[in-house]
Structure 1
Amino acid sequence: MIRILVFLLLIGLVTLGLGFLVEQPGAMSLTWFGYHIDTSPLVGLGVVALTAVIVWSLLRFIFNLPGLVALTARARKRARGHEALARGIIAAGVGDLNKARKASQEAKKLVPNEPLALLLDAQTAQLSGDRDSAERAFRAMTEKHETRLLGLRGLHAESLRQGDHDRAHQIALQAQSIAPLSWSGQALLDRYSGQHDWEAARLCVAQNLKARLIDKETANRQRAVIDTALAMDAETTDPDRAISLLRAAVKKAPDLVPANALLARLYTQRGKLRAASKVIEAAYPKMPHPDLARAYVGMRPGDSAEDRLVRAKALARLAPKDPESAIVVATAALDAGDFLTAREVMTPLVAMGERPTARMCVIMAELEEREHDAQGLAREWLARASRAPRDPVWIADGHWSKQWAPVSPVTGKLDAYRWTQPKEELAGPVEAPPPAYQGPAAIEATPARAELAPPQPAPAPEPPPVLAPPETKAPEAPPATTASEPVKAPPRSSNGPEPVIFPLATPPDDPGTKEDNTETRLY
């Protein structure tokens, strides 16, 4: 506002000065090179001022001409350097080592102080496998203010590639002290989690949330996993603290199965069956899991098999469409001897067109064996189980386990395990389920093999024709006989040599007919 007022004041002063000059009487006369000019003082002063400005500008341009030429040359050189940087970064990105190296050398000559030239040099060294040169380039980047964090990240990556985790941790700490970044925050969290330093990991999560590197939902999930890990360590030594940690973990992440299962187990050990049941009933609809089902069904050790079946049915009603509910009911029904219920809940899972897992096939094998003592059907189900898709397990970074862990054993990453089904490299066709068990009545209704029409024997091949001498008449060929009839030789001829008779061999795939001692077997 003050600048505007000053500007208006100057305009007013200039206007007043021009008005004063216009009102002043007088004349200005100029005779030069045979020309005579008469004008007012105001116009004369204007011409003189304009001439002075033009002369001054011309002299200034002449004196500054060498600098302008040098500036133009530097700008052209800088433009060529930036163009070389662009080509080199693109070449390094696509993996063209020769173009990247050539562009890096050109950029270092044209723009040696450009930060991107150091980055291109480091990328070229990494692409060629020269780790020492790459590390020198990243270290040079840390000496410049604008590329310091970029150099620290490159040194961190090189340290991890060399397996020097302690040095990588120190570099991440240095970067985090300068400015909180996502890569340094995650690196510190993985380090603390891999060493089971849960208090430091909790502090790191709080710092990442404060710096807005992660959202609140992710922070709550990570805190819940850390609380569960602390509770697992304190399960036997301090159960009260473990229960408090698990209650906080369940509140932050209600679908965290290990926290819910462990909390229910600790409540059960304390005799708080109602509280344990509420924990599982709240978690099971969000994540139906075998650990929750086992904890719920076997919560009271003194229950009978029928009581466990009732609890299994009650739990299954919370997630009726999930296959795990049917498996829970079927397992409890087998223990209780209720084979009809087990078959009813398992039939939709193993019907035609479905792909039952190995555990489902094993349950069906046990059902056929215990209900009907059908050893053949049980073996068929077990054989199908060996080819069936695998059941879900805890998988983290390609490592699978039956037990959950707070960190990955491969990378040390927090909350890496996921309950999922292993991928099938080669998925086979959908197999039809084995035939249902047929009782003795169904077997007796099947016609016996002896009552069926006996198979007709295959006709024997005709004997080859016999060539007779020209002066004699060839004997007639014997009639075709079956394999069971003997071959009769024709009568001898007194007019010529005796013809050759080839014996008729019984076909190897024709067992012949056995009219005597025919056995009838029921299958």
Structure 2
Amino acid sequence: MIRLVLFLLLLVAITFGVSWLADRPGEVTVVWEGVAYGTTVPVALAVIAVVAGLILILWRILSLLVRSPKIIAAFSRRRRREKGWNAVTRGLLAVGIGDNAAVRQARHDAARLLPHEPLTHLLTAQAAQLDGKHEVAVAAFRAMVDKPETRLLGLRGLHMEARKAGDKAAAYAIAEEAASAAPTLGWAADAVIEARCAAGDYAGARGVLERQMALKGIDKAQYRRRKAVLLAAEAIALEHSDPLVAREKAVEAVRLAPTLVPAAACAGRLLGAAGELRKAAKVVETAFATNPHPELADVEAYLRPGDAAQDRLKRIRTLVNRAPSHRESAIALSRAAIDAQEFRQARLVLEPLLAEPSQRVCLLMAELEAAEHADIGKAREWTARAVRAHRDPAWIADGVVSDAWAAVSPVSGKLDAFVWEVPPGVSATPILEHEAERVKAAIAAVRASEEAKALETKASEAKAQEAALAAAVAEASARSGAQVDIFVPAPSPEPVAEKAQEPAVVAAPPAPSTPAPTKPAPAPVSPEPAPVPATAANGKGKPSRPAPIVALPPLPDDPGPDGETPDEPETPGKKRRLMGL
């Protein structure tokens, strides 16, 4: 708009000047070699303007002819540069889509047209990476390090190549160099922090994080989260060696990130061990309200060592009120109820979860059946269902399932990589193995109880048999008025329950005072090689084992040693039946 106004003003000025000259026509006379040339002023001005224009055009032409070699060279360079940039663009696009052939052709054209451009070195390195040529890529990145404008880009490339080759020491050194040159560089600071965490130097990792935050290289929320992770990892590492320092760091981590489960669990354990139960419970309950986790439930249950199962159940009830509708709350409450032998409550809590039970729910039901009803069959049935049930969450990082949380990933070394979720393609998790051990213990307890009851039953049966035999001996002595001999076999290492099932050894009672028949009385028969006689009827002798075997009184159809059956004559070689046996 301003240009249009200026143009109009100039046009008005020219029009005004022409009009002014037309109103005042004058004459101009020029004498050239004695000849006078005369004309009007407007014509003279027009001639002067045309001559000046011709002179300018001629000068431009001459100048162009003089500078033509430079102009042609500059045009050639410009055309070459444009082709080179087009080749770099095509190469980078081909790298993005993974077209190796196009990348190689573009790299060749870019190296021919723009051999010293930084992006040409980058394209060469990326083409070498696609072709798997490690040495070529490293050489290209080193060439970029030598130039100030591409130094950081070259360091990043060398760092990636070192990590790909598995040279952690070289990768760490390159990251340190890049972090020193640019503390706000995210990848360099992260690499240094991860390397120091892998070496257990959590204090050094926090130093890098503090410097990054001081230079505004990271936002405040991310800084608080990462610092809490580092403090929690350090507290867990010092939990047993230096509890005081570990407690301070765990409490600070909870202050920075109250919902970080490992920090809350560690702080709860250490505060509980120090006797600060109320503060520990508050830390655990705050974290559980946002992230219900079985580790937090375990910490809450065992805040005070030595508490009874009912006390633990009471604390768990308070904890689950912070997240009453969550699945972990039901599982934690049912486990505490089983430990407290509140089986009805445990069954009521687990009942809503039985429509689609997870592996832990199935194992809890197996433990409940074994503990409440001593039903090993149903316990085994629920254990078998656990194999096909839905999986439970676990700590995973980069596809790796871990028994415990860690600050960095064991695969990529990334900080704060562990998440609590259901791992894909895993049949069982570490927490499931813990629940299976509880089921095994419950089944073992049932078996031990059954064996104890069986032993008690057998012992009571043995005592009853002993009393019956003693009564029989007393009755036989009272009837015959004679002494009854008891034959006790020698002791053997077999259990009492098995000895009670041995065949009885019997002996005929001695003859009364009446004269005996001419036929000698049969001798006592015993299967044992060395019977030991003992007297029990008169109370002067004691048997050599708790369950003595005594001789029974004569049966009605057996005359005993005093006579023979008149209808059955004596037959040589035929043995008389003793006591009906």
Same fold (TM over 0.5): yes
| Match of residue 278 from structure 2 | 274
Amino acid at match of 2:302: G
Paired residues of 2:399 and 2:423 also in contact (CA < 8 A): no
Paired residues of 2:27 and 2:40 also in contact (CA < 8 A): no
| Match of residue 191 from structure 2 | 187
| Match of residue 114 from structure 1 | 117
CA distance in 2, matches of 1:359, 1:78: 67
CA distance in 2, matches of 1:95, 1:35: 84
| Match of residue 161 from structure 1 | 164
| Match of residue 438 from structure 1 | none
216-225 vs 76-85, which moves further: 76-85
| Match of residue 198 from structure 1 | 202
Paired residues of 1:28 and 1:44 also in contact (CA < 8 A): no
Amino acid at match of 1:27: V
| Match of residue 403 from structure 1 | 404
> Per-residue CA shift, 1:166-186, capped at 9, x if unaligned?
222222222223333222121
Paired residues of 1:31 and 1:37 also in contact (CA < 8 A): no
How far residue 220 of structure 1 moved from its aligned partner, in angstroms, is: 0.6
SS at match of 2:396: strand
Is 1:50 aligned with 2:47?
A: no
CA distance in 2, matches of 1:374, 1:387: 21
TM-score, length-normalised on structure 1? 0.71
Amino acid at match of 1:362: L
SS at match of 1:365: helix
Is 1:68 aligned with 2:71?
A: yes
For 1:294-373, list aligned pairs within 5 A.
294-351=298-355, 354=356, 356-373=357-374
SS at match of 2:56: helix
> Per-residue CA shift, 1:112-170, capped at 9, x if unaligned?
22222222211222222221111111111222233222222111111122222222222
Paired residues of 2:27 and 2:38 also in contact (CA < 8 A): no
- Alpha carbons of 1:30 and 1:309: their partners in 2 closer, same or farther (altered >3 Å)? farther
TM-score, length-normalised on structure 2? 0.64
> Per-residue CA shift, 1:36-62, capped at 9, x if unaligned?
662437555544433332221121122
| Match of residue 518 from structure 1 | none
Amino acid at match of 1:76: R
- Structure 2 unmatched runs, 5+: 1-9, 429-581
Paired residues of 1:182 and 1:213 also in contact (CA < 8 A): yes
How far residue 285 of structure 1 moved from its aligned partner, in angstroms, is: 0.3
For 1:165-244, list aligned pairs within 5 A.
165-179=168-182, 180-244=184-248
338-347 vs 201-210, which moves further: 201-210
| Match of residue 134 from structure 1 | 137
| Match of residue 421 from structure 1 | 422
| Match of residue 391 from structure 1 | 392
| Match of residue 474 from structure 1 | none
CA distance in 1, matches of 2:426, 2:307: 43
- Alpha carbons of 1:111 and 1:326: their partners in 2 closer, same or farther (altered >3 Å)? same
CA distance in 2, matches of 1:100, 1:45: 63
- Alpha carbons of 1:128 and 1:35: their partners in 2 closer, same or farther (altered >3 Å)? farther
CA distance in 2, matches of 1:114, 1:30: 67
For 1:456-467, list aligned pairs within 5 A.
none
Size of the aligned set, in residue pairs, is: 409
How far residue 237 of structure 1 moved from its aligned partner, in angstroms, is: 4.5
Paired residues of 1:260 and 1:283 also in contact (CA < 8 A): yes
- Alpha carbons of 1:389 and 1:37: their partners in 2 closer, same or farther (altered >3 Å)? farther
How far residue 311 of structure 1 moved from its aligned partner, in angstroms, is: 2.0
Amino acid at match of 1:390: R
Paired residues of 1:87 and 1:103 also in contact (CA < 8 A): yes
Tell me how large the CA RMSD over aligned residues is: 3.2
Paired residues of 1:30 and 1:38 also in contact (CA < 8 A): no
For 1:25-44, list aligned pairs within 5 A.
27-29=28-30, 38-40=39-41
Paired residues of 2:369 and 2:375 also in contact (CA < 8 A): yes
Paired residues of 1:326 and 1:346 also in contact (CA < 8 A): yes
How far residue 322 of structure 1 moved from its aligned partner, in angstroms, is: 0.8
> Per-residue CA shift, 1:427-459, capped at 9, x if unaligned?
9xxxxxxxxxxxxxxxxxxxxxxxxxxxxxxxx
Is 1:123 aligned with 2:126?
A: yes
Paired residues of 2:391 and 2:427 also in contact (CA < 8 A): no
| Match of residue 463 from structure 1 | none
Paired residues of 2:395 and 2:403 also in contact (CA < 8 A): yes
SS at match of 2:292: coil
How far residue 341 of structure 1 moved from its aligned partner, in angstroms, is: 0.8
Is 1:289 aligned with 2:299?
A: no
| Match of residue 149 from structure 2 | 146
CA distance in 1, matches of 2:240, 2:307: 26
CA distance in 1, matches of 2:137, 2:311: 68
Paired residues of 1:228 and 1:259 also in contact (CA < 8 A): yes
Which of 1 and 2 has greater Rg? 2
Amino acid at match of 1:315: L
How far residue 320 of structure 1 moved from its aligned partner, in angstroms, is: 0.6
Paired residues of 1:194 and 1:412 also in contact (CA < 8 A): yes
